Structure 1
Amino acid sequence: MTDALRIAPANEASWDELQLILTGTAGRCQCTRHRLGDHDWYAAPVEQRAAILRDATGCDDPRATRTVGLVAWVDDDPAGWVAVDARPAYRRLRNSPVPWAGRHEDKDDDGVWAIACLVVRRGFRHQGLTYPLVAAAAAHARAQGARAIEGYPMITGGAEATWDELSVGPVGPFVEAGFTEVARPTKRRRVMRLDFDA
């Protein structure tokens, strides 16, 4: 990216800026499906999902001590979002067989963080913004005391993918950020992990 890029914790963004990024399907999801799990997510209207996300991000409160994601700006325009939190915070992830296939570890280990979702705003896509977002999410998790961080990206094979499919991100940004593959639970899905040095 050649334009000025800034990535910061979501509490340093305004709620309106985050909502500019979360449009369309992402706007209906409000980045809460992984957090709530399918049953509770389907039962919650969009307004409730938005309230849950707003509380979790601490948007509009730069003094908040905790947030659950990062926002990217390109030339001061809100352009991207990455959801990152301790892995047990994501109920859907915990209950899905996909990330755990062939693995035996404590699902409630809050020392392992996860990148649950990546969203790039229309007009800023296809510029490589997911690369710095994944790297920043890893740095954020480490700064918060995480021992490791995981992602669950997809291999697209060069094919165009919908946001629903690719909200987990493509593999490339994870590889570039130093993640290594630890499992192949499906033909297109990978579990990627970065363990931090003590």
Structure 2
Amino acid sequence: MEFEVHPLTPGRFEDFADVVNPNRRSTHCWCLSHRISAGEIRELGGESREQAMRCLSERDPAPGVIGYADGVPVGWCSISPRTAIPRLEASKLIRPVDDVPVWSIICTVIRGGHRRRGYTRPLLEGAVAHAAAQGAVAVEAHPVDPDGRMDLTMAFVGTRAMFEAVGFDVIGTTDAQASKMPRLVMRRSLPG
């Protein structure tokens, strides 16, 4: 299997949509909840969340990366500088642990019909490589550490084991919870 990761650009928008919203439902997730408010959605694209995300796909750096298995879009990872994610930046529950200018992963998605095939690891590795290529010095994520199985029907914040597998270390905890579990602060420092 060949796995490639590419930044979301206007030319790759349909691939992104195939992963996060294959039925193109207007009220379904377009990976905007942490990035912009309802008012900003209207400013960017009228009433369309899809159009707002299309506008964000034109920005540099891209709001995330798409993973392809043998040319088929199968994964999405929302990754960008923490400062480009206003709701995370303003969060009183997920505060920065220090002054390091981190990039943040706020969600990962593996497309329905393609899960449990080992795509998450190369997707995350590609996301970290993308951040490094853009000059990032560190990448953070805020996963949970579940005792058992998690409901993974939609995008999720990830698990501790998932991020440890690609070189992230726990550096703290947050005051936020997901699925009634505390969220961790995990970081991977990058060379440079």
Output the TM-score relative to the length of structure 2: 0.81
Q: How many residues align?
A: 184
Moved over 4 A (4+): 24-27, 39-47
Give the SS at the match of 2:35.
Answer: helix
**Structural mapping, 1:78-157, within 5 Å:** 78-100=73-95, 104-106=97-99, 111-157=101-147
Does 141-150 or 153-162 show the bigger shift?
Answer: 153-162
Which structure features the higher share of helix residues? 1
> Which of residues 161, 177, 180 in structure 2 aligns to 1:172?
161
Gaps of 5+ in 2: none
In structure 2, relative to structure 1, the CA distance for the partners of 1:40 and 1:93 (3 Å cut) is farther
Percent of residue pairs bearing the same amino acid type:
28
**Structural mapping, 1:15-94, within 5 Å:** 15-23=13-21, 28-37=28-37, 40=39, 48-58=48-58, 66-94=61-89
CA contact (8 A) 1:181 1:193 kept: yes
Query: How much is the aligned-residue C-alpha RMSD, in angstroms?
Result: 2.9
- Cα offset, 1:91, TM superposition: 1.4
Give the SS at the match of 2:105.
Answer: strand
* 1: CA distance, partners of 2:46 / 2:143: 25
In structure 2, relative to structure 1, the CA distance for the partners of 1:167 and 1:160 (3 Å cut) is closer
Which structure features the higher share of strand residues? 2
Equivalent position of 2:191 in the other structure: 197
CA contact (8 A) 2:75 2:108 kept: yes
User: Residue type matched to 1:105 in 2?
Assistant: D
Output the TM-score relative to the length of structure 1: 0.78
Per-residue Cα deviation, 1:119-170 (whole angstroms, up to 9, x for no partner): 1100111222111111111111111011111011122323131445x52122
- Cα offset, 1:89, TM superposition: 1.1
